[in-house]
Amino acid sequence: MNTILPILEPAAPPSLTDENDSLRLRDSHGRFITDLRLSVTDRCNYRCVYCRTGTDGARLLRIFVSLGIEKIRLTGGEPLLRHGLLDLIHETAQLRPAFSEQPLDIALTTNGHLLAPLAQPLKDAGLSRITVSMDAVDAETFTRITRVPGSFERVRAGIRAAQDAGLGPVKVNCVLLRGFNDTQIEAFAEFSRTENVIVRFIEFMPLEEDRKWTPESVVPMSEIVARLNAIRPLVPLAANNPSETARRFTFADGRGEIGIIAPVSQPFCGHCSRIRLTSDGSLRTCLFSQSDHDLVGLLRRGATDDDLRTRIRAVVHRKEARHHIGEPGFQQPSRSMVHIGG
């Protein structure tokens, strides 16, 4: 469903004082919330085996930025299928974070299928960074996963176009699934080095439509590290910021960068700064939330900006301390990844 349409006004200039801490969006666990994942559509042109069997949104974005959001990641579904995406990025780029002097960081996660011709327009519209999801570096395995023939070459061309457009270094996300693509780890390391991209391996989480997740289907971080170390010694890199999800590594010769995102074996909830806005305008405080909170309905019933700010603060205050993947009684979230926005 596409309800997010652009039309934004410039925000107030940044101001930096400790007193601002009481104004910034914060949950009851003391975490500042600075990172908004915006699902711009729940349509997707891939049917990855582990995932599938307007003006209102623009106003919400402005309100979120006024509350301390510093980074917006556009996602979906497949965000490049979204009509008006370039306008949305252009207008979002006019906003200034309320409590930081840095420009708003606008990132996008895409399957890359439609990226090649759009890379330069995305950069020109104001996109800061791009992540491309790519779950294999050989064409046959890739097609087996995405269920779309010819997809590997399209996505690789998209990555190269993004690098040429100045959106590099591109991050390449690979969700590892035991028995599907766990043979690809070493080849991905080589891909990082030859294509000059940051490869990030992600542990598979129970968020798929047909509920196939088992603990055994997860390829844990320890195994990924051991296998990479066996080809070339890994050297840890410092985190870029405290809420960074990936553990970063390079190789001893400094070529290539690998990130490992291990929400299952090494959860990082304690530093979570993320909230999500679904494509139908609901706020989610965790990927694994059992419910979401309708903001667009409130807005259409005449809520003022202050009403919306109050509602957002109240919802964020109750953000979950952590997820419970793998624990007895764990319940899958109320929506699957393609609807939540990854």
């999500």: which residue's tokens? 276
- What is the Cα–Cα distance from 148 to 311, expressed in whole angstroms? 42
**Given candidates 137, 207, 224, 316, which one binds ligand SAM under the rule CB under 6 A?**
207
φ and ψ at residue 309, rounded to 5 degrees: -60, -45
Of 27, 42, 70, 78, the residue at the interface with ligand SAM (CB under 6 A) is: 78
Structure tokens at 43: 């349509």
| For ligand SAM, the closer CB: 117 or 297 | 117
The token pair at 83 is 């009509």
Helices (H), 93-150: 119-125, 139-146
Binder of ligand SAM out of 8, 34, 50, 333 (CB under 6 A): 50
> Which residues, in sequence order, are bridge partners of residue 39?
75
**Contact range with ligand SAM by CB under 6 A, out of 95-103, 190-198, 201-209, 273-281:** 201-209
Structure-token match 């985190």, residue found: 239
Q: Which residue is nearest to ligand SAM (CB)?
A: 342
Alpha carbon distance 90, 198 (integer Å): 26
Query: Binding ligand SAM by CB under 6 A: which of 85, 136, 202, 316?
Result: 202
177 DSSP assignment: B
Among 208, 257, 280, 292, binds ligand SAM (CB under 6 A): 208
Please identify, among the stretches 75-83, 236-244, 251-259, 324-332, the one whose residues bind ligand SAM according to the rule CB under 6 A: 75-83
Q: Which residues of 62-84 are buried (b: 16+ CB within 10 A; e: fewer)?
A: bbbbbbbbbbbbbbbbbbbbbee
Contact track, ligand SAM, 131-170, x by CB under 6 A? --x-------------------------------------
Stretch that binds ligand SAM, among 92-100, 153-161, 204-212, 322-330 (CB under 6 A): 204-212
Q: Print the SS3 string covering 197-232.
A: CEEEEEECCCCCCCCCCCHHHECCHHHHHHHHHHHC
Q: Enter the tokens of residue 335.
A: 């929506």
**Piece of the chain touching ligand SAM by CB under 6 A; list 154-162, 197-205, 269-277, 288-296:** 197-205
Q: Give least dist CB 50 to ligand SAM, A.
A: 5
Does residue 173 bind ligand SAM (CB under 6 A)?
A: yes
Residue 270 backbone phi and psi in degrees, to 5? -55, -25
What's the N-to-C CA distance of the chain in angstroms?
16
Q: Does 192 bind ligand SAM (CB under 6 A)?
A: no
Q: Which of 109, 151, 181, 278 binds ligand SAM (CB under 6 A)?
A: 109
Q: Which residue type, as a one-letter code, is found at position 251?
A: F
User: Does position 285 bind ligand SAM by CB under 6 A?
Assistant: no
274 beta partners: 35
Q: Which of residues 220-279 bind ligand SAM (CB under 6 A)?
A: none
The smaller minimum CB distance to ligand SAM, of residues 25 and 89, is found at 89
Q: According to the binding rule CB under 6 A, does residue 42 interact with ligand SAM?
A: no
Which one among 136, 175, 234, 308 touches ligand SAM, defined by CB under 6 A?
175
Q: Provide, rounded to whole angstroms, the least separation between the CB of residue 196 and ligand SAM.
A: 20
Helix (H) / strand (E) containing 67: none
Residue 204 sits in the site that holds ligand SAM (CB under 6 A):
yes
Q: Which of 141, 111, 109, 142 is nearest to 128 (CA)?
A: 109
User: For binding to ligand SAM (CB under 6 A), which residues are involved?
Assistant: 44, 50-51, 75-76, 78, 109-111, 133, 173, 175, 202, 204-205, 207-208, 337-338, 342
